[in-house]
Chains A and B, each alone.
Chain A
Amino acid sequence: MTATTERAVGSDVRRIDGPAKVRGLAPYAYEHEVDGSAVFVALVQSTVAKGRITSIDVSAAQAVPGVLAVLTHEDAPRLGDVAEELLVLQSDRVQYAGQPVAVVVAETSEVARDAVGRVVVRYDAQRPDVDLRADRDDLYPPEKLMGGFETDSVIGDVDAALAAAPVSVDVTYETPNEHNNPIEMHATVARWDGDVLRMWDANQGPHNLVPVITEAFGITADQLHITSPYVGGAFGSKAFTHVHQLIAGMAAKVTGRTVKVELTRQQMFSLVGHRTPTIQRLRLGALPDGTMTAISHEVVEHTSQNAEFAEQTATATRLMYAAPARRTTHRLAKLDVPAPTIMRAPGEAPGMYALESAVDELAEALGMDPVELRLRNEPERDPERDVPWSTRNLVACLRQGAERFGWADRDPRPGVRADGRWLVGTGVAASTYPTRRRPSQARIEAVPGKPFVVSIDASDIGTGAWTALTQIAADALGVPMDDVDLRIGDSRLPKASGAGGSTGITSWGPAIIAAAQELRDREVPPGGLTVTGSSGPGDEAEQYSSHAFGAHFAEVRVDRDSGEVRVPRMTAVFAAGRIINPTTARSQFLGGMTMGLSMALHEEAVLDATHGHYANHDLAEYHVATNADVGEVDISWVDEVDELHNPLGAKGIGEVGIVGSAAAIGNAYAHATGRRVRDLPLTPDKFFR
């Protein structure tokens, strides 16, 4: 092994996958098997949201030259025991608008799409119920929330504490349906090589898909090979198996060909999940000096008929601020909608929007600076679990952020600043996201004179994992990065957790380090040597409360004539453990903050009450932020190393950037205009209420 004095971890290393990506040469899922042998799949979707299929006539579609097969629930291959939401083409039942009811396979994509329009489906339809309201009489508490969190938490007599509080707020916030919308549309290429299912797929970790796909097709893990070296964004929608991956396997089986499935952008609104809308009632009580005495956060959200997805919206409220009396609850409405899924910081993003907005309103009610109010309520220990923090540096983030942003001179009065026709305001909000580690394994093959081959089924969905894991491996092996040959994104590599929950580096990095340690004390024979290492969570998860924190500051301008909203500058400071690669980490924070800006200003998928479909299901009508929406962005972090959870001292960084950013913008909007809009997004129409 070559000795090296320079550490790769902590260095500004450019992305190793960059040169291929900028030329467009890094192959994404759909770009495999381009030799002309593949055939193409297109989907027929239900035009009703609830009911039964009474007949399907595929004859006209089958008659189109070039059509190889048309599958319906009457003749599609039977799937194994998978979740109800995945039982595609298995029955006549329709549970949401856009549900696939037939599948066309054809020699070309043009022919497949044409034939889709010739399949005639008749339904016995019922009017769908897609209306989320807090006063519904059928709201119910789920058994548990996603991530294993308790549905409710209650400490003390919250109602009494609220009634007794000298100063209080009681406000309700709403967040809309949002869609992940990675720019790479979900795509799968599939072929059966004998009894082995070969797939190239866009996902957040091939191993995430293995249990479902093997069960669906009755095969063993050895009979499934999924390759996913490059993934064009995901943000949660590519974490789990969706129906199109099963459709790909079915279509390949029926036709005996290599098939390509690429969902359309419109189909992504119904087939790969969304962020549930929420209605959140926040009640905060405080003493005149700002000391909080009660916190209540009650959440109503939706799930689908075919799945129970219970987002952990209020769990961040369980740890953010000290208060003796505290309560969080979650209730679900089961609606005729597609199954929700995770979207960047599921739970924390909408939940902290509401909490941090309410804290701002409490500051206003107290006549107190909102930064000061947060500092006043900093808890010594996790206030609900009653365990110590592993590290908690929110105070440093708030102080440094205030300094960088120029918060000190802020006039707290709302609606009094203007620059020409622009109303100008500033806002602050805190952020948090859990730190975790998940079980992962890695393998290193050493051959004298050759780079170390480091293998792990990790996934780079844009996070920078290709680069950061190479840095980690180089340091662990004590070699320059050029001597590491990283392999990721393949179900035949050692099993690792998926990219999600900001756990990639904290889970994969330690597994690579463990494997490298196996190698360090051993002589590599001329024929080479292979070692493995594994890593996973330990007792520290029970003994400590571990989270990344951050503070967002934003300036907002609102045109007093049009209601248009601009965000000319944002500042954020994070405390997120050791930063492996400052360049790619900054991009993660930037991406999260900008997605938060997009959440604050633009994003809303509108459910049509009559038809139950997402009415604005494309990128012209579902707006995400453009380049012109983003102004100056100032990102920094405090020095923090948290080695309780992993030897890197790292925390996750993929999600803490979005959490709280929408609240900072909403608070700045209220400061600019003197009026509080409590339902996102802050589109111009809301200025005219």
Chain B
Amino acid sequence: MDTQITLRVDGADRPLTVDTRTSLLDAMRERLGATSAKKGCDHGQCGACTVLLDGRRVNSCLVLAVTAEGQEVTTSDGLAADGPHRLHETFVDHDAYQCGYCTPGQITSAAGVLAEAAQGWPSAVTEDLVADRTDLTDAEIRERMSGNLCRCAAYANIVPAVAQVAVEQGVRA
């Protein structure tokens, strides 16, 4: 069932026609030509499609485009609106990727991790659940980034790439 909506992707209003069945991911990739977010499974099982939706990381393959009207969608490309994001630089510096396909999702996810840590959110490996500050140790980064599969398996390089920005943002000792 076709319907007219306007999506706000990486700071730009993008009017388009979608099927009610169209996912936010397919709306971007197949209808808007915005291909920064990737499709790796279409079922929320790999994280390649991760975007920030009103600043929170979500799997865009499981979001129906019609429900995303009025929300701010940010892809990895959108994080570079004012020049490269620090995560873009540290991923390159630490060679935190190989094929690069999961990478935009890793980076938007990492941006979400940093924001969640700044709010003091715990994770499954946080020992002191009631602590009001989060310290993004290596173990914390590994756990929090586990919703993003990397088959090239750059995990051990992704951790220091995220850690470096975490230090800069004051969420890692």
Contacts and interface: CB of A to CB of B under 8 A. Distances in A.
User: Direct contact between A and B in the complex (CB less than 8 angstroms)?
Assistant: yes
Interface of A: 14-15, 17-19, 21-28, 30-31, 34-36, 40, 108-111, 114, 181-185, 230-235, 262, 264-265, 461-464, 583-584, 586-588, 590-591, 593-595, 598, 618-620, 624-630, 632-633
Question: DSSP class of B's interface residues: helix, strand, loop or mixed?
Answer: loop
B155 A265 contact: no
Interface residue range, chain B: 35 or more
A26 B95 CA distance: 16
Interface stretch (B19-27, B127-135, B165-173): B19-27
Most buried by A among B100, B149, B156: B100
B84 interface: yes
A184 B154 contact: no
B61 to A, nearest CB: 11
Interface in B90-105: 91-93, 95, 97-104
Given A22-B88, A181-B151, A587 B157 contact: yes
Contact of A619 (B36, B45, B143): B45
Contacts of B145: 627
A23 B41 contact: no
Interface in B19-68: 19, 21-22, 26, 29-31, 33, 35-43, 45-46, 48
Nearest to B124: A628
Contacts of A231: 99
Contact of A15 (B37, B42, B92, B152): B92
B40 A633 contact: no
Contacts of B35: 24, 27-28, 30-31, 34
Contacts of A184: 38, 40, 99, 101
5 contacts: A24-B76, A183-B102, A184-B101, A591-B154, A619-B46
Contact of A594 (B31, B91, B155): B155
A239 B150 CA distance: 20
A36 B31 contact: yes
A252 to B, nearest CB: 17
Contact of B30 (A28, A108, A619, A626): A108
B92 A25 contact: no
Contact residues of A: prevailing secondary structure: loop
A24 B36 contact: yes
B97 A21 contact: yes
Given A14-B95, A182-B151, A461-B99, A23 B39 contact: no
Given A22-B84, A24-B103, A618-B45, 14 more contacts: A15-B97, A22-B91, A22-B92, A23-B77, A27-B35, A28-B35, A31-B35, A183-B48, A234-B99, A262-B39, A461-B99, A627-B146, A630-B156, A633-B156
A462 B99 contact: yes
Contacts of A262: 39
A624 B41 CA distance: 13
Contacts of B38: 24, 28, 183-184, 232
A183 B101 contact: yes
B100 A22 contact: yes
Interface string B135-167: 000000111011011111111111100000000
A630 B97 contact: no
Nearest to B21: A110
Contacts of B152: 233, 462, 587, 591
Contacts of A233: 98-99, 101, 151-152
B99 A619 contact: no
B5 to A, nearest CB: 14
Given A181-B151, A183-B48, A21 B103 contact: yes
Given A19-B88, A35-B33, A587-B157, A110 B19 contact: yes
A18 B104 CA distance: 11
Given A183-B149, A233-B151, A627 B39 contact: no
B40 A185 contact: yes
A116 to B, nearest CB: 13
B46 A183 contact: yes
Contact of B95 (A25, A40, A584): A584
Across the A-B interface, give the 6 residue pairs with the lowest CB-CB distance, nearest first: A232-B101, A24-B36, A462-B99, A21-B100, A594-B153, A24-B104
Given A184-B101, A233-B152, A620 B43 contact: yes
B42 to A, nearest CB: 6
A497 B36 CA distance: 30
Contacts of B159: 627
Contacts of A22: 76, 84, 87-88, 91-92, 97, 100, 103-104, 107
B12 interface: no
Contacts of B48: 183
Of B37, B88, B152, the most chain A CB neighbours within 10 A belong to: B152
A24 B97 contact: no
In this complex, the member of A111, A232, A588 whose beta carbon has the largest number of chain B beta carbons within 10 angstroms is: A232
A488 to B, nearest CB: 14
B71 to A, nearest CB: 19
B92 A19 contact: yes
Contacts of A462: 97-101, 152
A36 B14 CA distance: 15
Contacts of A21: 97, 100, 103
A426 to B, nearest CB: 19
B36 A264 contact: no
Contacts of B125: 628
B41 A265 contact: yes
A18 B92 contact: yes
A265 B99 contact: no
Contact of B153 (A234, A618, A620, A630): A630
B77 A24 contact: yes
A24 B26 CA distance: 15
B115 to A, nearest CB: 18
B76 to A, nearest CB: 5
Nearest to A34: B33
Contacts of B37: 24
A265 B40 contact: yes
A111 B26 CA distance: 13
Nearest to A233: B99
A232 B4 CA distance: 33
B164 to A, nearest CB: 14
Contact of B98 (A19, A30, A464, A633): A464
Nearest to A28: B101
Contacts of A26: 100
Contact of A25 (B31, B36, B142): B36
- Tell which of B46, B91, B141 has the most Cβ of chain A within 10 Å: B46
Given A24-B76, A183-B151, A110 B41 contact: no
A472 B139 CA distance: 38
Contacts of B91: 18, 22
B157 A620 contact: no
A461 B100 CA distance: 9
A620 B99 contact: no
B92 A590 contact: no
A14 B89 CA distance: 11
A659 to B, nearest CB: 15
